[in-house]
Structures are given as structure tokens and as C-alpha cells.
């Protein structure tokens, strides 16, 4: 199995692709497909990626860094809170067949994800193997299981 | 007015202890904006989108979205209500938030669904000041105001 940092980084790329596919469906007016793809993306990122980070990776990093009030994880948790709301708003825009609102939200979400993912990939993931007792094997398996259940 | 690490923190406002301040108005509406340390963290704001008047928002939903070159994020409302006014000047010049976050650069006025409990999830006074100072310290913020 690949290292935890590589697995998480690969998951970012996979999720970016799913969001891009949903955006493409919106641009062609395929609203039902867009809704389905956005839900696949939302499930992957919220119920998979973020859950693994918030339940396992962030706490391990915080323990290693001496406390649960670390600025990096506080900022990343804030990013997750914002993103969860934006995903709901994107789903509503698709439901309303409102491409303009969806595009506005997409632009913001992609900006947040770009900065958020870069921060995780440079400041968090490289230190996880040392911070986790199993070097991240269990967390990596959970992410890979989420990837495997994604319909192609 | 309290000040910590150069950040202005008006003691009469209510805060969600993260990015948002809330000011009760005489007519029962609540004005919302972002704090001085939050605007500093955000950097020079380049884009603002604010929900249209008449929009109803559940608690926690974003009344506005702000973007700078290095940051993007939402401005959540701490209570449910209807947007009754928005600061049109910010749509033209979001950078005003970096200049005057508590006065000219208010973001929106919201009429709460339940006025009696609208401020249940925000803090004011010494408790708020203490929590905001901890926030500023955690992120290592040193506030700087842009003059133009």
C-alpha cells in the first residue's frame, strides 16, 4: 500500500475530477447528471476524506504537535465547515437549474480547495506517517475503500 | 474599544468568535460584518458576493462570500432570518472591508426569524474579548488597516 501522504494527495486529485465532471454536466444543462455527480463528489469528500481527516489525521497531528488548538488544524477545520455549506448551496443551485449561481459557487469552492489542499499536502500530510501509530495504514485503507465504492 | 495585537475589537458588538460580528439595531434587525483580525487574515479582498435582499437563510448559511488573492470563504449568519439590506458598496469595492470593517463595510442586515434567541450563539463583553484574543494569538495575527 502507498504511504498515507500519497493516498491523501491522490484522493484530492480524484475528488477534483469528480467536481469537474459535475461542473461540466452543469455547463451542458445535464442537470440530473450534474446532481448525481455532485452527490458522488460530496459523499467522497464529506463522508470519506473529511471524516478520516477530522477523526484520525488531525488529532494525530495535534497530539504530535502538543495540543488540540493548533493553528493549522483549526484553519483546516474552518475550511471544512465552510465547504460543507458551499456543497449544500451548490446542490441547491443544481436543483434550481441556476447555472450562474452554481458557477459563482464553483469558483469560490475551487479557490478554497486549491489553497486548502496545498496547505494539507505541504504542512500536514508529510508529517502523518510519523504521527500515526500504524504510519497511517488504517486511515489509508479507509480512503481507498471510499475510492473503491465510487461508481465509475 | 479593546485592542489586541493591533486588532480593534469593539466591546459592544456580538461575535461568533471566529470571523463574524453582529450588531443589534433599534428596529430589531441585526447587522453583520467581519472582524478586524478576520479581514487581516483574509488579505486584500478582491471579490464580494452578498445574498440578495429577500433571501431567507438558515442559521450557519453564508450571507456573503469573500475572496482575496490568497483566501476565499463564507460569512455565516449565526441565526436564521431574512436579508433585508446588503451593502452594495462592497460589491463594487470589497477592499472597503480591509479599511473599515466595523462601520462603512458592514455586509448585510438580517431580520431574525426568532428575535428572542437570535443572539444565543454569539458572545459579547469580556468573554468575547478573551476568546477573540485567544483566536488572534492562535493564528499569530497582527492587524494592519489599509488606509485606501
In this structure, what C-alpha cell is assigned to residue A81? Answer: 465547515
The answer to whether A111 contacts B72, with C-beta atoms less than 8 Å apart, is: yes
- Looking at the domain assignment, is residue B66 inside a domain? yes
What's the total number of domains in chain A? 1
Q: Is residue B60 part of a domain?
A: yes
| pLDDT tens digits for range A68-127 | 778 999 999 999 999 999 999 999 999 999 999 999 999 999 999 999 999 999 999 999
pLDDT confidence of B146, banded at 50, 70, 90? low
Give the integer Cα–Cα distance in Å for B97 and B68.
11
pLDDT band of residue B135 (cuts 50, 70, 90) is very high
pLDDT cut 70: percent of chain B above it? 97
pLDDT of residue A1: 73
* Residues of A with Cβ-Cβ distance to B64 under 8 angstroms: none
Q: Kindly state whether residue B141 falls inside one of the protein's structural domains.
A: no
* Residue B114 DSSP label: S
Residue A67: burial class (beta carbons within 10 Å; 0-12, 13-18, 19+): exposed
Contacts B72 to A, Cβ<8 Å? 108, 111-112, 115
Supply the pLDDT for residue B21.
Answer: 98
Total number of domains constituting chain B: 1
User: Is the predicted pLDDT of residue A57 greater than 80, yes or no?
Assistant: yes
Choosing among A69, A70, A71, which should be mutated to test the B contact, i.e. which has the most B CBs within 10 A? A71
| Residues 6+ positions from A85 with CB-CB distance below 8 Å | B60, B61, B62, B74, B76
Q: How confident is the prediction for chain B on average, in pLDDT?
A: 94
Residue-number span of the structural domain to which A74 is assigned: 4-149
Residue contact A104–B49, C-beta within 8 A:
yes
Q: Point out the residue among B70, B72, B76 whose CB comes nearest to the CB of A108.
A: B72
Cross-chain Cβ contact A85/B71 below 8 Å: no
CA A8, A13, A19, A21 torsion-angle sign: negative
CATH number where A131 lies: 1.20.120.520
Residue A35 above 80 pLDDT? Answer: yes
Residue B7 has pLDDT above 70, yes or no: yes
Q: Do B18 and A86 touch (CB under 8 A)?
A: no
**Does residue B144 lie within any of the structural domains?**
no
Cβ atoms of A109 and A83 within 8 Å: the answer is: yes
More reliable by pLDDT, A134 or B145: A134
| Chain A residues within 8 A of B73 when measuring between CB atoms | 78-79, 82, 112
- Total beta-carbon pairs less than 8 A apart between chain A and chain B: 38
On whether residue B146 sits in a domain, the answer given is no
Say if residues B19 and B45 touch (Cβ distance below 8 Å).
Answer: no
Residue of A26, A58, A41, A30 lying closest to A127 (CA atoms): A58
Sign of CA dihedral A22, A38, B80, A82: negative
Residues on chain A touching B74 (C-beta within 8 angstroms): 82, 85-86, 108
Beta bridge partners of B7: B4
Interface test with A, best of B73, B76, B78, B140 (most A CBs within 10 A): B73
Q: What is the dihedral of CA B81, B83, B89, B93, to 10 degrees?
A: 60
Q: What is the pTM of this model?
A: 0.90
**CATH number for B90:** 2.40.50.100
- What's the gap in Å between the CA of B26 and the closest CA on chain A? 30
Query: Between the CA of residue A87 and those of A9, A11, A43, B26, what are the distances in Å?
Result: 21, 18, 10, 35
* Interface predicted TM-score (ipTM) of this complex, two decimals: 0.86
Mean pLDDT of A10-32: 97
Residue B38 lies in a domain: yes
Partners of B20 in the beta sheet?
B34
| Residue B139 Cα, gap to closest chain A Cα (Å) | 5
**Residues of chain A contacting residue B71, judged by C-beta atoms under 8 Å apart:** 115
Residue B145 in domain: no
Any domain includes B147: no
Overall average pLDDT of the B8-28 stretch: 96
Amino acid at each position: 500500500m502507498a504511504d498515507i501522504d500519497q493516498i491523501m494527495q491522490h484522493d484530492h486529485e480524484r475528488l477534483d475530477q469528480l467536481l469537474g465532471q459535475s461542473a461540466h454536466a452543469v455547463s451542458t444543462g445535464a442537470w440530473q447528471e450534474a446532481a448525481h455527480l455532485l452527490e458522488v463528489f460530496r459523499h467522497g469528500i464529506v463522508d470519506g476524506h473529511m471524516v478520516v481527516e477530522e477523526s484520525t489525521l488531525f488529532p494525530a497531528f495535534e497530539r504530535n504537535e502538543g495540543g488540540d488548538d493548533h493553528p493549522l488544524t483549526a484553519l483546516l477545520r474552518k475550511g471544512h465547515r465552510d465547504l460543507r455549506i458551499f456543497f449544500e448551496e451548490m446542490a441547491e443551485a443544481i436543483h434550481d437549474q441556476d447555472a450562474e449561481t452554481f458557477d459563482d459557487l464553483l469558483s469560490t469552492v475551487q479557490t478554497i480547495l486549491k489553497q486548502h489542499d496545498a496547505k494539507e499536502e505541504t504542512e500536514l500530510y508529510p508529517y502523518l506517517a510519523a504521527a500515526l501509530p500504524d504510519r497511517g495504514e488504517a486511515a489509508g485503507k479507509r480512503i481507498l475503500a471510499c475510492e473503491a465504492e465510487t461508481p465509475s | 474599544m479593546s485592542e489586541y495585537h493591533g486588532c480593534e475589537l469593539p466591546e459592544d458588538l456580538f461575535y461568533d468568535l471566529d470571523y463574524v460580528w453582529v450588531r443589534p439595531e433599534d428596529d430589531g434587525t441585526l447587522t453583520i460584518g467581519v472582524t478586524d483580525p478576520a479581514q487581516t487574515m483574509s488579505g486584500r479582498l478582491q471579490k464580494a458576493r452578498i445574498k440578495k435582499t429577500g433571501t431567507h437563510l438558515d442559521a450557519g448559511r453564508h450571507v456573503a462570500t469573500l475572496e482575496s488573492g490568497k483566501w476565499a470563504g463564507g460569512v455565516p449568519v449565526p441565526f436564521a432570518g431574512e436579508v433585508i439590506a446588503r451593502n452594495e458598496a462592497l460589491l463594487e469595492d470589497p477592499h472597503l472591508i480591509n479599511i473599515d470593517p466595523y462601520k462603512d463595510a458592514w455586509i448585510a442586515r438580517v431580520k431574525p426569524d426568532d428575535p428572542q434567541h437570535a443572539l444565543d450563539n454569539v458572545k459579547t463583553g469580556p468573554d468575547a474579548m478573551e476568546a477573540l484574543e485567544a483566536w488572534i494569538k492562535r493564528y499569530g495575527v497582527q492587524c494592519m488597516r489599509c488606509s485606501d
